[in-house]
Amino acid sequence: MQINQAPSAPTVAISPSSPKTADDLGVVITTEAVDPDGDAVSYSYRWYRDEVEMTSFTGTTVDESATTRGETWRVEVVASDGSASGTAG
């Protein structure tokens, strides 16, 4: 019996790279995660504002109404094959 292996981490970026006040933040997956077992991959999203996880944001975008000038936002994207999760990208 083969042991299930976790998918690789995707490469991601926040778009737009230089957001303006009225811009939503979105995540762009620039390199897809790969599952070594060939399983289908899904993604989960964790957004951070000034290094504090914003648990109310779990999708691919953050509405501009939730952001304020001067904040630092980042996103972690984790690939899963349904049995194992990879590292954050």
Instruction: Report the alpha-carbon distance of residue 56 to residue 34 in Å, rounded.
Output: 27
* pLDDT at residue 21 in the model: 85
Quote the longest CA-to-CA distance of the chain: 53
The CA distance from 15 to 32, in Å, is 16
How far is 79 from 21, CA to CA, in rounded Å?
Answer: 30
Query: What pLDDT tens digit does each residue of the chain (89 aa) get?
Result: 678 999 999 999 999 999 998 999 999 999 999 999 999 999 999 999 999 999 999 999 999 999 999 999 999 999 999 998 989 98
Residue 27: which of 7, 8, 11 has the closest Cα?
A: 11
Give the per-residue pLDDT at 63: 96
In this predicted structure, what is the pLDDT of residue 1? 67
